[in-house]
Amino acid sequence: MRVDRPQSGTRQRARACTETLEGLVTASFNGHRGFVLTVDLSSDATPSLGDLRRSVRQSLSHLDTDCVEDAELLVTELVSNANDHGRPPVKLRLCQLPNSLLHIDVEDSDRTHLPRLRASAPGGERGRGLVLVDQLSHGWGFNVTATNKVVWAEMNCRESSPAGQS
């Protein structure tokens, strides 16, 4: 099982990403380093999970296809958990960090329901989200502040190779 509390270096990277994104509502750019996408999921115009996955796919189109597909799953699980167990406002942020790291975090204002990795009931339809997050990510955890909770995951992602190159 992976550590569900951030290590100091991870906490610093997450804070740097979050500080970079503060004050932004919904925007994206593909500078391939730093801020990639942030979405406020608390408005009346909240996108469906399918639309959210498409936005992730477009924002990460410069990365390896396998990484993008895994990132879509991570986003789906983290956002679904925030919607099911958190409290608005909910925000999604993706940030590409140095050394090919992709940082994904979802913020909500419920500081009492903290994520924990556990086995799902046999035949159960729920309870596998954090197991997927644990398996697909390089590391994951959460930070709790005076006003919110941020659940994050990081993964290693390569830039996609130009056509014809390997």
- Written as tens digits, the pLDDT of the chain (166 aa) is 233 333 445 555 555 554 444 433 233 334 445 668 888 888 776 788 899 999 999 999 989 999 999 999 999 999 999 999 999 999 999 998 877 889 999 999 999 999 988 776 677 666 788 999 999 999 999 999 999 999 999 999 888 776 545 4
Domain residues of the chain, as ranges?
8-116+127-156
Tell me if the pTM is above 0.85: no
How far CA 64 is from CA of 5, 67, 83, 104, in Å, comes to 28, 5, 28, 16
Fold entry, domain 8-116+127-156: Heat Shock Protein 90 (3.30.565)
The answer to whether the beta carbons of residues 61 and 1 sit under 8 Å apart is no
